[in-house]
Structure 1
């Protein structure tokens, strides 16, 4: 009697057929669910090790976090095909997903761990192997969300109309001596990044040529302006020709640079750009206007 009841139960659930269906009598695949599906949803704020009760994990900590994948199993209990879906919901912190026991993840290359940046989603699947590359990264994508432009630096300076500039600086050059770079007044400031970022830089300046060059063997003279971050040249520069006393020099620089987390300084440097000949002179300049901004998108 028990055997007849078991056979009827298996038949009613579709287990006697090749395919199994839930809320469907004619499943076209090994398992068909004609309705909703739910997996475990978990929010974590610290480091965790995943197990067979996990499915979707949202990381919402207030520091960089680590999620460890379970150790592979050989034989009974092997979880080939198990999927973990992981989302980093923080705004400023990186999440690292790592394998254990020298196991690796098949990403672009075989790696021990992957970084899920803020606002990114990752999906991993077990390959069923017990050693070596046991996991595969099937997806790592940014989450669609609204972006905010964060201002790190916002400097605006100008001389009032009909007034002469008081922010003056001097360029001196002696025969056979290295030409010095002079920091342009009003351009020095600092900022701090809580995490590595792409920073958008913009700089514009109007410089007044105030002094007369001393006599010398003249050829072609240009002036050069470049942005420096942490006192290292950024490669964002412009060169303009000298027009003589009473003329104005205009510079406009912009670009994007990848910067690490931590404090940073920024300023613009002014120098000569000489073409041929030898020179010995002193030249004085003044800042008429200056704009400097640094931003990143969060």
Structure 2
């Protein structure tokens, strides 16, 4: 049981702390309002559910769920619901995107633009602090810091796509003659479209062919993927150029579209720039991983 004397001592200490302008821990000479000469421990929580709302007990949060996630910040109002200076440290440790959402009509700001949410890509970390605004439609949270704490990395892999002879028509993968089936990455030629050369007073265009290849592996994230194309015509005098047409998802599979044109003999008539051989279009896919 605490004696009356000890109670008075404890009361005196509490009163002293309340009136002292600066408080020191492990120091009798604090240099700031709170001066801690040692380690600092705060709340830590791992979130392994797809949706979650932060509260007064949260500080550092790590998202570890295997699916796309959403973390909602507390709703800000006035009085006891005004959390000026409250900070959250949020780390996305999953392989999926994590959306940080302001509650209700609250907003976030990274500059002078109010946002409903921000997206943390895998591996990213954010620090968010509540500002002095209590207006529900104003930016009540400041995004003070967003970073990837590890070095940037780029993943690269290449595919040798086949270019059929000019005017060979492939529709709905009605032939497997031009599929890429060797190795770990398999691509099927789904369709081809040939466009004849044209020569007018206003236009000179060579024969060209548009090809659509479909990846037969699992669907992958197209964010940050950049293809580089080069046509391999070694051993021939033909000159080709390849142009990127697009990456898309059709029926749950990734499709890669590109166009090839033969530009030598472009001035010698409508058939001179056609080709009768099968060539390779070397595509290098680069993806910024972090």
Using the size of structure 1 for normalisation, the TM-score is: 0.68
Q: Deviation per CA, 1:259-291: give whole Å up to 9, x if none.
A: xx962213341144788x783544445346553
Structure 2: how far apart are the matches of 1:128 and 1:173?
A: 66
Distance change (3 Å), C-alpha of 1:209 and 1:168: farther
Matches within 5 A, 1:1-298: 4-10=8-14, 14-45=17-48, 46-91=50-95, 93-108=96-111, 109-131=113-135, 132-145=138-151, 147=153, 149=155, 151=157, 153-155=158-160, 168-169=165-166, 173=197, 179-183=206-210, 189-191=213-215, 192-206=219-233, 208-209=236-237, 225-230=241-246, 263-272=254-263, 279-282=269-272, 283-287=274-278, 290-298=281-289
Runs of 5+ unmatched residues, structure 1: 158-165, 211-222, 233-260
Q: What's the counterpart of residue 189 of structure 2?
A: none
Deviation per CA, 1:109-154, whole angstroms, max 9, x where unpaired? Answer: 2111111111111110011322221111100111215746253x42
Bigger RCO of structures 1 and 2 (CA < 8 A, at least 6 apart)? 1
Gap runs ≥5 in structure 2: 168-194
Task: Give, in whole Å, the separation in 2 of the partners of 1:56 and 1:284.
Answer: 62
Give SS of 1:73's match: coil
Of Structure 1 and Structure 2, the greater strand share is in 1
The two structures have a TM-score, normalised by structure 2, of: 0.70
1:226-265 per-residue CA deviation (whole Å, 9 max, x = no partner) reads: 2233499xxxxxxxxxxxxxxxxxxxxxxxxxxxx96221
For 1:27 and 1:174, the matched residues in 2 are separated by 83
Count of residues in Structure 1 that have an aligned counterpart in Structure 2 = 243
* 8 A contact 2:85–2:130 mirrored in 1: yes
Distance 2:105 2:20 in 1: 42
CA contact (8 A) 1:41 1:57 kept: yes
Q: In structure 2, how many angstroms separate the alpha carbons of the residues matched to 1:148 and 1:97? A: 26
SS at 2:74 equivalent? coil
1:280 & 1:225 partners in 2: Cα distance? 18
